[in-house]
A and B are shown apart, each in its own frame.
Chain A
């Protein structure tokens, strides 16, 4: 019985993943706001949120890197961008005092934080370790 449950769960997950892949899995970062932040990080298994603001030079450096990774990790990691100028609650909740800051979530829980315009492979290494 146990085994059957596992099997069912596995199939269910796979189907769900396929569904997400085919329909609604974003291949580019989505704009996230204070209001929909919680829903967004709970909706996907692994989520990376890039907290940025228009006046921040290093944020501009990180932006294209995140866009690129979002394309490559489609179906595995969902990406969001949160403008800290327009959204104050989430930065406050996560004590963000420096941008860019990346927040990593697994199953809706914050598991890692990284500050600064990090190189692409540092970010993908973090994601890979979260995916395993």
Chain B
């Protein structure tokens, strides 16, 4: 069986960039993606901080990245990686379709949306509860929605929904949004309501979302507010399940620990993008992918631990 140089797991910005660098440096690589590439970036309604594009939708940017990567690399779409193990020489990557052997792995699986954990959330998923404003915003035109969260993604989603013609209220657990100033200014300009110091106790509704029960964390007051939709944007959980058994170091927040060259504690095992924590943007995911590919190349030429 052929043993290739690198398995790139995840076809988001990190994995796609890693593939371009890996193959141009002369390595043989494939990308596995359980969906069809693009990752979370597909959910960004628009991106205004990826240099070279004033404004571009997440999907358009990912289409371009993929088209460029495909000039070099084979992307195995809809091929979920189910396990990664190591024998004395190689990594054995088992997918939903086959088993492969590789000399090294770049692990770039990104993250999944964090759940709120409030009663009603699971039951009302798809009935007013959503984790993706770009996907579902359209169904809430002229309706009233709450966005739970206070970071950049929550702010972007709030602005996007407001532009669609939705009545938007941001609910945040602190007394100030974490989002960058440019977002905060837009929120004020557009007249988006913000409810501070509040956590969701319950999502209300029988068969459809009817509202949320909020608790003010300072006063302890409970209040019920009416909404047709609840968009949850309270951060992400890095997808590290596959590497835990391998003994890859993970920090207290759940991210894979890497050095500046994107090396983990396991030789020939690198990671890049959201799963390795840090700034968690497209530009940094790309940068880390490039660095990981370069490290893989160097280490195959001359192992760093000898």
Interface of A toward B, CB cutoff 8 Å: 53, 55-65, 68, 84-85, 91, 95-99, 101, 113, 115-117, 119-120
Contact = CB atoms under 8 A, between A and B. Distances in A.
A101 B126 contact: yes
Contacts, number: 81
B215 interface: no
B195 interface: no
B42 A113 contact: no
A53 to B, nearest CB: 7
Q: Chain B: interface residue count, which band? A: 20 to 34
5 contacts: A59-B135, A61-B35, A91-B139, A116-B125, A117-B35
Contacts of A53: 135, 138
B229 A56 contact: no
Interface string B125-136: 111111010111
Interface string B118-156: 000000011111101011101110000000000000000
A10 B134 CA distance: 48
Contacts of A101: 126
Nearest to A68: B78
Closest 9 CB pairs of A and B: A57-B42, A61-B35, A115-B126, A98-B126, A56-B135, A97-B139, A64-B78, A98-B136, A57-B43
B80 A56 contact: no
A91 to B, nearest CB: 7
A97 B38 contact: no
B46 to A, nearest CB: 11
Nearest to A97: B139
